[in-house]
A and B are shown apart, each in its own frame.
Chain A
Amino acid sequence: MTELATYNFAYLDEQTKRMIRRAILKAIAIPGYQVPFASREMPMPYGWGTGGVQVTAAVIGPKDTLKVIDQGADDTTNAVSIRAFFQKTANVRVTTRTAEATIIQTRHRIPEAALQTGQILVYQVPIPEPLRFLEPRETETRKMHALEEYGLMHVKLYEDIARHGHIATTYAYPVKVEGRYVMDPSPTPKFDNPKMHNSPALQLFGAGREKRIYAIPPYTEVVSLDFEDHPFEIQTFSQPCALCGAKGSYLDEVILDDKGGSMFVCSDTDFCEVRQEKGHRGHLAANPAEAAE
């Protein structure tokens, strides 16, 4: 009797899943190209990851273990609610550990830990078209992709240099996939761009409101656009994580008081926790002996 009261596995009906699955196969066959798909209304507002949720729902099975992150964190509203959504509708195992997950749905970060063969990274994408802010007409941007006409994007990066002395784009930094399509990596910090290149994991991108799916297969060339005299650079941080002492991870600034005090901590909460469990300590980490008392 409970059968009648439950959702179809992973919420979506089977016809919708087939439609999304056909789009995913074409997206993998044409890396970086945005495949239109008939995005459905989901029980969450646009901007909350409806594209990523639909891709995950079409892909996920009972053998999968799901991890959901929002800006690197497993415990923020968006991540918690999407994780709960799939626990309820697909009854799948969930985890916060990057290494244990088979599917990782992400909003705006790539985990610090290197991804493995067989893992699937599903990105939530707000605006899939990298040329959209330069050319608002879809008919035109589609033609620009068809003709590989990406001069405008280089002009935009050049204007950054002319105005600021360096390329000021820090997130959603455009990449070229396999030497052909210019692609928006979703609003991840440019810090994460190098992780997309030759990743052993399959990367799927879902944009629900804009109705596009695109993909990067494993071991695919992903190059951030730049100039010879202004090569692509990632952000660096002058101090290590205040909790785990990690150098070289992406840090968030956390305000501590109203006197300008702040600390910098890893945005990837799982990466930070695993390091702390292994005994790494930053300068503001709680002393485990004191905490126990």
Chain B
Amino acid sequence: MRAATQVFEGGFSDAVLNSQEVFRALMDAMANPGLVIPVRDLVNAPAPLQPVMAAIAATLFDHDATVWCDKAIAGSDAATGWLKFQTGLELTSTPSDAQFALIRDVDTMPSFEAFAKGTSEYPDRSTTIILQVAGFDGAEVLTLQGPGIEHTRSFAPSRLPKLFIDQWAANRAAFPRGVDLILAGKGALAALPRTTRVLKREA
């Protein structure tokens, strides 16, 4: 019963202005790769959805969005119920069909290869992968370069997918095809569009 009411609660208090606020954070993040943009906690979704990831979902998803969720999220009726009720999204079990992917467990996620990379004619038909991370003060500091970055930018998410440097290099090499990443932390988000180059770290 509790799970059932959780589903209907905790959406944006102001659907119009809250989603605009979150979208601007997303757009700034996408236009400035690796820049950590603060966002207020605007929604309250059932675990394992953290507020920032849930707010991104509420901003971008609707009946036109096909979304793949990893096991941690797909396994929670409360979480998928909340997403369905609040956004009306269409869930898929095939990552390569997904416009968006919600990933709670970064360690066990499929490789980027498993997701849609778009076609040469329509590279926009690719998956935007939304990762839930603890924060942006991780031990491993990446150096980023590319459009949206004047010289270089340091970026230190607390968690990254396995073999990230190699996976990302392969994703970058497929340009203009490829996946884009959005990282949802606590009270902040950041993005890595497919154009960003991750430089080898100086020891």
| Interface set of A (CB-CB < 8 Å, partner B) | 8-9, 14-15, 17-19, 21-31, 33, 35-36, 58-62, 142-143, 145-147, 178, 180-181, 198, 200, 202, 215-221
A23 and B27 CA atoms in complex are apart in Å by 11
A62 and B19 CA atoms in complex are apart in Å by 12
- Residue in A22, A59, A178 whose CB lies within 8 Å of B60: A22
Contact A180 B176, beta carbon cutoff 8 Å: yes
Contact A147 B16, beta carbon cutoff 8 Å: no
A19 and B19 CA atoms in complex are apart in Å by 13
Q: Does B170 contact A (CB under 8 A)?
A: no
User: Across chains A and B, which 9 residue pairs bring their CB atoms closest together, nearest first?
Assistant: A29-B193, A146-B120, A217-B148, A220-B147, A26-B124, A217-B147, A61-B20, A217-B31, A29-B180
Known contacts: A35-B124, A217-B148, A220-B148. The answer to whether A29 contacts B194 by CB under 8 A is yes
Contacts of B99 in A (CB 8 A): 22
| Interface set of B (CB-CB < 8 Å, partner A) | 15-17, 19-21, 23-24, 26-27, 30-32, 59-62, 64-65, 99, 119-124, 126, 128, 147-150, 175-176, 180, 193-195
CB distance from B171 to the nearest CB of A (A): 11
Chain A residue nearest to B181 (CB atoms) is A29
Majority DSSP secondary structure for residues of B touching A: loop
Contact B121 A146, beta carbon cutoff 8 Å: yes
Majority DSSP secondary structure for residues of A touching B: mixed
Contact B24 A61, beta carbon cutoff 8 Å: yes
Contacts of A61 in B (CB 8 A): 17, 20-21, 24
- Residue in B23, B65, B121 whose CB lies within 8 Å of A143: B121
